[in-house]
């Protein structure tokens, strides 16, 4: 069995590739995706747990970047999909957590970004 070298991109490169019409595939579970997600034009959510049943939704003729919260699940998903003949896949290193840290567009409430303490809490310093 041959080993396939998985191509990885950072969030900054991902942002550029999305502008070139790459599809972003988020493999996080639906509840994670609904809490907060990438705010980009073409994002598809197929949870890792549903990948086998739903892989037909992933276009084989398009370039697709896989992402999750940290880049670990998406890396496993790329390896899995490669076995089924998907060749135009990239893995986004460090995932949505790094994306949000860089303040790239997100929808929803990020659990990653630090909450600033201020306002009515008089005990904040």
Catalytic annotation, residues? 68
Enclosing H/E stretch for 31: helix 30-35
8 A C-beta contact, residue 4 and residue 82? yes
Q: Round to whole Å and give the CA distance between 108 and 10.
A: 22
**How far is 44 from 67, CA to CA, in rounded Å?**
10
Helix (H, G, I), strand (E, B) or coil at 76: helix
Enter the DSSP assignment of 83.
Answer: T
């Amino acid at each position: 069995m041959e080993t396939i070298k998985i191509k990885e991109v950072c969030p900054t490169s991902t942002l550029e590739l999305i502008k070139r019409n790459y599809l972003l595939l988020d493999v996080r579970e639906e509840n994670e995706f609904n809490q907060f997600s990438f705010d980009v034009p073409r994002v598809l959510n197929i949870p890792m747990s549903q990948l086998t049943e739903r892989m037909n939704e992933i276009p084989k003729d398009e370039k697709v970047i896989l992402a999750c919260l940290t880049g670990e699940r998406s890396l496993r998903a790329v390896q899995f999909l490669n076995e089924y003949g998907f060749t135009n896949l990239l893995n986004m290193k460090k995932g949505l957590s790094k994306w949000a840290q860089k303040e790239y567009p997100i929808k929803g409430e990020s659990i990653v970004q630090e909450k600033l303490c201020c306002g009515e809490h008089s005990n904040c310093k």
